[in-house]
Structure 1
Amino acid sequence: MRSLPLTFCAAAAVAAIALPAPVALAAHTAPAGNDDRGSVSVTPSTIAPGGEVELRTDVCGKGRSAKGNSDAFVSEVHFAPADGKGIFAEARIRSDAEPRSYDVWVTCKDGKGKATGSLTVMHHSRPSPVAPVRAGGGGTATLADQAAQSDGPGTRHAVTGLVLAAVAAVAVAFRSVRRRRPATD
């Protein structure tokens, strides 16, 4: 008695899973038309002036080319086929770009597709060491730690060094004298 509702539930679950898959695949592989609009993936989406970004889009389809532009770019970029699907380009950000959001436009070379995206230019302060590295380097930091410069070897270290040198000298002298003495049997 309970097998009939269980069968209908199982059939409904299979239909819900299996039917949308071909529709999704068909919609994703449709050729680009005149009105096709897509998006541009910009990596990284936040960049400092003078940096480089990677641009990817699939609005033009695989194997086609496009050109892209933005007020933040040094020059127009040309897209080429990417591994997998879509097209790919690299763009350099102007060194004098103001910190704000910029639009990115991509137009397929055959005129059958356009894509838009955005990127944000931010002035990043470059991290700089404020003290010498404790692993050597000879104090190459620009703003050396004042405490490290003032705490150098003092009188205590000098006395310790002199005592160790005296002990070493006495040990060497003692061994020299001992070797020169003839052995008595």
Structure 2
Amino acid sequence: MRRTARLLTGTALAVAVAGPAYAGDTGRLDVYPSTVAPGAQVTVNTAACGDRGAATGDAGAVGAGTFTLAPSAHEGEAIGQFRVPPSAQPGTYEIVARCAEGNRQVKGDLMVALSAVYEQVQPRGSVKTGVGGALGPDPVQTAAGVAALAVAAAGGTWLLHRRARGDGI
């Protein structure tokens, strides 16, 4: 019983001590939106610089130069913005922020795409199911199939009409 109590107490103590250390990931730079088109505005924020911390951002990799991150009202986060140049080439770029106090550095990734809006593509063509399609690539085969169906329908109608008259089959 004592052994179990010690084990549980030790586990609870470890969680209590380690819990706040992992409560928030302060070692990264969040980039919003993470995928943009050239010319778009990007917002970055981090909690790595503390409650009143400011930082200097560097978006030189994408050609946007430096920008300032100032303390915000969001629980000790510093926030800043920059504009991706219209001449930016597609690819993934590393954005860096260096805290004013403590010289801590955090990084985040920004993906530049030709178009940040993805269009829905409508399907084209036929599905190869083995059953066949309503309209195949050969108009002669299509016409032959329609003719066969018409003959079958006419024959069936004629047979039903004869049976209804009492002529028999």
Task: Please give the TM-score of this superposition, normalised by the length of structure 2.
Answer: 0.56
Q: How far off its partner does 1:64 sit?
A: 1.4
Q: Which residue is 1:68 aligned to?
A: 57
Within 5 Å, give how 1:156-171 maps onto structure 2. Answer: none
Q: Percent identity?
A: 24
Q: Which residue is 1:84 aligned to?
A: 75
Matched AA of 1:109: A
Distance 2:117 2:32 in 1: 20
Q: How far off its partner does 1:38 sit?
A: 3.1
CA-based RMSD: 2.8
Q: Which residue is 1:140 aligned to?
A: none
1:119-143 C-alpha deviation (Å, 9 max, x unpaired): 1101117679xxxxxxxxxxxxxxx
Structure 1 residues 100 and 108, CA gap change in structure 2 (3 angstroms): same
1:72-116 C-alpha deviation (Å, 9 max, x unpaired): 253421001122122111221111110001111111224521111
Distance 2:43 2:82 in 1: 7
Q: Which residue is 2:14 aligned to?
A: 19
Tell me how many residue pairs correspond in the alignment. Answer: 115
Unaligned runs of 5+ in 2: 120-169
Distance 2:114 2:42 in 1: 15
Task: Please give the TM-score of this superposition, normalised by the length of structure 1.
Answer: 0.52
Q: How far off its partner does 1:20 sit?
A: 2.1
